[in-house]
Amino acid sequence: MADNQNGKNDPKEILKQLELQENGVRSSIAAISNDPKKKAQLKNLQGQLANVQKKIANIQQAEKEKAAKTVASPTSAPKSVPQKPAVSAKNANFSISSNTSINMLIGDSDRNKDLVFANFIKAINEKGGEFFEIYSLNLLKKYYKLSNVHIDGSKHNGGSNDGGIDAIIETTDFLGYREKVYIQAKNYSNAAITLTECQQFYGSMCANHGTRGIYVTTSLFHKAAWDYILSVPNLIGIDRQKLYEIAVLCQYGVNTERGRDWIDASVFN
């Protein structure tokens, strides 16, 4: 009984259940989003989605703070093992274009997941906007395949005349439901995605008859932008933390071996 109780209180298990719940609510929203007779039900589901996402964010933040305290605390390591300093995105330093730095990266990443995350984002930042557009397209295709969603076609637009749409994926799920997914990918190192940027992307998506929009960034979303994303049932935002989690899930750019993450440098060469 004690083991079962501990499992119920395990943040990872709670997070897993919440993520399953989130996916279920998203599916329900997608099923009725175009039915004008179900506005009340749609509003209720959007409220449920916001509530679940808030719980997920709170658990992720708590676990992140817990991990940071463990890394920073000298008492967290045995006395016989030298304590390593905590590494953050600000002081993680490497150049993905250097073979020497890549080798250092792979070696260090086994010791510190925070370092892997920081170097993953920095690697993308250094490769530029077009690389990130193509990477995001390939990553989301891998995610759909893992989700047993058939990909009918895909296209990378890119360039200054892309009409606000960087890439397109056409999918068909198990039930035969077809979607045209539009992707916007912003490779930012400092600036956050604004409300105006999200609104412009969604406007382009609707004008081109897209059924779903995914806004991906190596940065974060302003609060107003995130609130807007939550209010639109067929618009999804992926910030740098979620981007990393999907990369780990799909083993694309970040690989996992024996429970430890490490950068797959071949993706960035």
pLDDT (tens digit per residue) in 148-205: 999 999 999 976 666 789 999 999 998 999 999 999 999 999 899 999 999 999 999 9
Which pLDDT value is given to residue 8?
57
Which pLDDT value is given to residue 162?
67
CB atoms within 10 A of CB 180: 16
State the DSSP string of 59-94: HHHHHHHHHHHHHH-GGGS-TTSPPPPP--TTT---
Q: What is the mean pLDDT of residues 238-267?
A: 93
Higher pLDDT, 12 or 209: 209
Structure tokens that stand for 67 in this block: 């991990």
Beta bridge partners of residue 155, listed in sequence order: 168
Helix count and strand count (H, E) for the chain: 9, 7
- How far apart CA 1 and CA 21 sit, in angstroms, is 25
Residue 133 has pLDDT above 50, yes or no: yes
Q: Categorize the per-residue pLDDT at 44 as very low, low, confident or very high, splitting at 50, 70 and 90.
A: confident
Q: Categorize the per-residue pLDDT at 34 as very low, low, confident or very high, splitting at 50, 70 and 90.
A: low
